[in-house]
Structure 1
Amino acid sequence: MKFKKLTTISILITILISTTIGIFLWKNQPKEATAAPQLSCNIETLDSMDMTGMQTSIALDTNGYPYIAYMSNYQLKRAKWNGSSWSLYSIPNGDVGCSGCIGLSAAIDSSNIKYIAFNSCTYNQVGMAYEDYYGASGAYAIDSGENKGFLIGAAMIPTGDYTDTANKFQAVYSDYNTAQLKHARWTISYGDYSWTKTTVDDVGSYNILVGSMALDSSNYAGAAYTDEVSYALKYAKWTGSSWGSKQTVDGAGTEYSFCEDTPSIAFDSSNYARISYTPGILKYAKWTGSAWDKVIVDSVGVSGSSIALGLYNSARRCASGGCYPYISYYDITNQDLKLAIFNGSSWDKYTVDSAGNVGRFNSIARDAAGNIHMSYYDQTNNRLKYAKCSLVTNLAPTISSVTDSPDPVTVGNNIAFQVAWSDPNSGDNTKIHICKTNAISSQTCSGGNWCETASWSASSPTSCSYTPTISDVGTQNYYAFVCDDDNACSASTSGTFTVQAAISAPVVTNSTGASSITSTSARLNGEITSTGGENPTVHIYWGDNNGGTT
């Protein structure tokens, strides 16, 4: 592949596609529960250099491993996960040369070659950097010249490798000189390349402020964007021969914050656009085939949403039907990173990270296993952060206390076990199991049980009882479990109880009386016929009374 250094254009850039805005859809709705699924997240700090994370864009390779483009000290960098560890790398010729809104967009093809579209103030151009599977890297100029504009978004056609003849890489950017929204398609043929450019929209004397792009199943690009005069959310789509008519998605006219209130776009399996956008609140628009269906997702102060649709690949589209959106966004009011997920009828909203002022410049992607990946900026500590989250639709119950009574217990009497528990999934029914070993599967104690409830219960505490036999005499271990009606079981709570043999008065017989009586001795012929359940102590009194024992 020929390498050409980025050569001349001055400007600022705002990325969107998976960066400060992103949309995501999943194919199959999670298992329905009476309560919202729980969100479990693992959060990491990836880089802590000055100004790190002011822009981020995340993409996933064919293994579902995250690749994050971000800015650090005016330098374009990337963080790459290899399955066991992260590596950080400064992109050659990725000298951004300016701070603030530096648009980035990461994309990966099916050969796991990584691409980043970005804007460079140093070289005055919109450019593209790549990193292949051999570790080689380089950069190309997409368009150059004074005030060429900032990047709106980019995407990869997810087939072939970089030696193929194909329209591999596409990008949409704003040309400040002409006040036009432009599209560039990168065609490569065995090491040589060329850019084919078209005008998406001509807005006259005003500039495109923010936007995002994605590819449909025909690899046709679509863009969501707004300009600095109308502030209306607009949409344009390549038809195969032209950009067709431009649509106004939402003409609310709310002024968008430059760089952060960036819309995000993705396509569903019908090639209908889904768009998240944040004019002070989080909104979501879906094309129905004849009109735009718009809803408010969250009315708190919101900035910088990122939307991902369903089974998401490098072309940012949902692979098959039933796609529901995931939207990451920054809650300005609480300064938190949040996540909204449509469950088929309503939006479930979660706080992903609230440790300081976190969540700006967020980007989102979802892997085939359903894990949600987000990159974002920690403004409190000037850090790039990464969160990997998963939805847990059914959580196991938890035990707060276990009692057994009476303890000790006598053979033949009942010992009652009472378990106090809670279940985070409202409406679940449970059973308790007092197991003999610390193992349970499908509501069955692996080593047998002391007792368990036969019927389901929806309220705590729950009790069961056991009647010890003579073989249980001694100290016994038990392990209490609570399992719900989806066979999700709590961790065990262990304890012991003591079983005693039944106790009664010893029985002594002396029917024959004493024999061999002399003045100093006698043979006693008494016999203990029952010990009463314990080892008795025998007392013998010599005299003319019973020793006070009556």
Structure 2
Amino acid sequence: MNNTRYRIAMDGRRIAFGLAVVSLILPVTNVFVTKPAAALVAASSPPFAWDLETVDANRDTGLSTSVALTDAGVPYISYIDSTQRLLRVAHRTPTNWSSEIVAGPGSYTGNTNIAIGPGNAVQVSYFNQTSNAVFFAASGPSGWTTTRIDSGFSEGWNRFAIDPAGRPGIVYTGFDGSLRLASWNGTGWSIEVIDSTTVTSRYPDLAFDALSQPRISYYGSGTLLYAEKSDGRWTRSVIDGTEGAGLFSRIRLDSNGAPHIAYYASRNTSLMYATGGTTGWTRSLVDSGGDVGIDLSLTVDSADRPHIAYYQRTSGTLRYAIGTVRGWIRETVDNSGVVGWYTGIATDSRGFPHISYYDWTDRSLRYARGKIALQVRSLPASPIDLTSVTLTGELVAFGNHSEAMVKFELRVDGEARTLIVGNVTKPGTFSFAVANLSTDAVYEFQAIARAGNETSRGTNLTFRLTALSHPFPLDVLLVSVGVGVGSFAALFIAYFVRGRRRGKSKSRD
């Protein structure tokens, strides 16, 4: 009986060791390796060059800026002229900038906001500190018409948007600290109190969805909050409950109606970003280090990419970030002094950013326009099966073109293949599935875009489809079964032989 139990135990060990040896011998297939070629450019390399201009050089002018573009791409900027105590709007002419008075002289503070309405009509919201009221202004053939909307909070927080039907709406902090929305109904302004329980709803921002339903981000009770209206009812929720998260909040919607919110978190002095909705929110860090994210502005372009302009306090510089499929790409736009206060941002039809901001050093209104020639990026390849992969690229910018032809160049052993994807008219990713590849061959590929007489080439990346014969380091496997490398073979043979002898002895019995 004892011999039988011993033989079974030894057979069990033999089986276990046998499986271990088999696992070392059998190959593991479809292991995919992607790595950059030697000439790989850092992923954080900036996608834009910048044209920087002074819009209004009068002293102490350019506070509380906002920028919007006409259908033709002409920038209009609203701002406060503190020296002359005026509210102004400037626009770009073919040769220079032209500025006109919207309101004043008076005392203005808080936010100014500009939007282009139907027929390229310029509309502005602002806060008049003398009357402690939120105002709306619209340009017309005879000049500017201003309308008092409601009493507001002394800090002057207000934001302005136009719904798909062309009707303006203004979200603002009421005189009592409540969150309010004023909407044009066709004949007059209707006012709703959205949140009267939060202690001083600050930094509100407004966007409308495709059904003209309002979405609002704001800061209250020390956290980032969100409100949306549907079927005549308001629902409110907390996006980021971290203490001090939500200052300078800005909201925009993408083509699917999903909200994108950028905000400043004072606890970690960082620029944060959230997207989602009623089903949940995803939060991420955009930039950190040097107290970044103050005076931020946000827009989402036609390819659903978020663009953020913001101030880095420690360095005193204007910063910019764009969200791509590879994550956030960040860069410094202007470091010519203490610059980057009161930012505004808009993108044109080609995805180029336009930024308005205040230059504290020169006390002037500044403007930055992102520009670049055609630009494409190569993204890591992904496996389909043992002999097939998907190559992916991203068209970042069109330059001065409305469309581009994109393709890949695939090289192995000195031979190149051209894989044409086709013409694209929007920034974003494109891909090509490649089959009948060889295992263990190293392939190099590159995304390429061509438009007119310009060609842009992405980074050279490499990949290899391989079969590994040792999925685990040998010493790790042996440690896991409790024996050393030197004794492994001897133990296995001894167990195997001893087991066979005992088996034969038993059979003879």
Task: Please classify the TM superposition score into its range, dividing by the shorter chain length.
Answer: 0.5 to 0.7
Instruction: Verify: 1:56 aligned to 2:65, yes or no.
Output: yes
Q: CA separation of 1:33/1:112 partners in 2, compared to 1, >3 Å: closer, same or farther?
A: farther
Matched residue, 1:291: 280
Q: Determine helix, strand or coil for the equivalent of 2:185.
A: strand
Given the two structures, how large is their TM-score scaled by the length of structure 2?
Answer: 0.62
Contact 2:46 2:330 (C-alpha < 8 Å) held by counterparts: no
Higher strand share: 2
RMSD: 2.9
**Cα drift, residue 266 of structure 1:** 0.3
1:432-451 matches, within 5 Å, as none
Q: Determine helix, strand or coil for the equivalent of 2:188.
A: strand
Matched residue, 1:221: 214
Q: Determine helix, strand or coil for the equivalent of 1:111.
A: helix
Q: Give the Cα–Cα distance (whole angstroms) in 1 for the partners of residues 295 and 368 of structure 2.
A: 16
**Cα drift, residue 52 of structure 1:** 1.2
Matched residue, 1:231: 222
Instruction: Verify: 1:176 aligned to 2:169, yes or no.
Output: no
Q: Determine helix, strand or coil for the equivalent of 1:49.
A: coil
Matched residue, 2:470: none
Q: Determine helix, strand or coil for the equivalent of 1:246.
A: strand
Contact 2:164 2:211 (C-alpha < 8 Å) held by counterparts: no
Q: Deviation digits for residues 5-35 of structure 1, max 9, x if unmatched?
A: xxxxxxxxxxxxxxxxxxxxxxxxxxx9985
Q: Give the Cα–Cα distance (whole angstroms) in 2 for the partners of residues 238 and 391 of structure 1.
A: 40
Q: Give the Cα–Cα distance (whole angstroms) in 1 for the partners of residues 96 and 77 of structure 2.
A: 14
Instruction: Verify: 1:366 aligned to 2:309, yes or no.
Output: no
- Residue identity opposite 2:248 in structure 1: T
Matched residue, 1:195: 189
Instruction: Verify: 1:77 aligned to 2:85, yes or no.
Output: no
Given the two structures, how large is their TM-score scaled by the length of structure 1?
Answer: 0.58
- Residue identity opposite 1:169 in structure 2: P
Q: CA separation of 1:335/1:34 partners in 2, compared to 1, >3 Å: closer, same or farther?
A: closer
Q: CA separation of 1:149/1:143 partners in 2, compared to 1, >3 Å: closer, same or farther?
A: farther
Instruction: Give the greater-gyration-radius structure (CA).
Output: 1
Q: Determine helix, strand or coil for the equivalent of 1:183.
A: strand
Matched residue, 1:152: 158
Matched residue, 1:118: 126
1:293-442 matches, within 5 Å, as 293-300=282-289, 301-302=291-292, 303-311=294-302, 323-392=304-373, 394=375
**Cα drift, residue 113 of structure 1:** 0.8
Q: Give the Cα–Cα distance (whole angstroms) in 1 for the partners of residues 304 and 297 of structure 2.
A: 16
- Residue identity opposite 2:287 in structure 1: D
Identity %: 28
Q: Give the Cα–Cα distance (whole angstroms) in 2 for the partners of residues 342 and 255 of structure 1.
A: 20
Higher helix share: 2
Q: Give the Cα–Cα distance (whole angstroms) in 2 for the partners of residues 113 and 42 of structure 1.
A: 26
Matched residue, 2:148: 141
Q: Deviation digits for residues 243-291 of structure 1, max 9, x if unmatched?
A: 2x211010111277xxxx4111001122121000012200000016511
Q: CA separation of 1:75/1:34 partners in 2, compared to 1, >3 Å: closer, same or farther?
A: same
Contact 1:370 1:390 (C-alpha < 8 Å) held by counterparts: no
Q: Give the Cα–Cα distance (whole angstroms) in 1 for the partners of residues 76 and 205 of structure 2.
A: 19
1:439-478 matches, within 5 Å, as none
Q: Give the Cα–Cα distance (whole angstroms) in 2 for the partners of residues 360 and 380 of structure 1.
A: 11
Q: Give the Cα–Cα distance (whole angstroms) in 2 for the partners of residues 136 and 372 of structure 1.
A: 29
Matched residue, 2:107: 97
Q: Give the Cα–Cα distance (whole angstroms) in 2 for the partners of residues 170 and 52 of structure 1.
A: 27
Q: CA separation of 1:140/1:52 partners in 2, compared to 1, >3 Å: closer, same or farther?
A: same
1:255-294 matches, within 5 Å, as 261-279=247-265, 280-287=269-276, 290-294=279-283
Matched residue, 2:4: none
**Cα drift, residue 44 of structure 1:** 0.5
Q: Deviation digits for residues 361-394 of structure 1, max 9, x if unmatched?
A: 1010001022211000100110100011034464
Q: CA separation of 1:270/1:56 partners in 2, compared to 1, >3 Å: closer, same or farther?
A: same
Q: Deviation digits for residues 90-109 of structure 1, max 9, x if unmatched?
A: 11x444414xx421111111
Q: Determine helix, strand or coil for the equivalent of 1:286.
A: strand
Matched residue, 2:99: 88
Q: Determine helix, strand or coil for the equivalent of 1:55.
A: strand
Q: Give the Cα–Cα distance (whole angstroms) in 2 for the partners of residues 78 and 294 of structure 1.
A: 35
Q: Give the Cα–Cα distance (whole angstroms) in 1 for the partners of residues 42 and 448 of structure 2.
A: 13
User: For structure 2, which runs of at least 5 residues remain unmatched after alignment?
Assistant: 1-39, 377-413, 417-446, 457-509
Q: Give the Cα–Cα distance (whole angstroms) in 2 for the partners of residues 94 and 108 of structure 1.
A: 22
Matched residue, 2:205: 212
- Residue identity opposite 1:114 in structure 2: V
Q: Give the Cα–Cα distance (whole angstroms) in 2 for the partners of residues 271 and 58 of structure 1.
A: 22
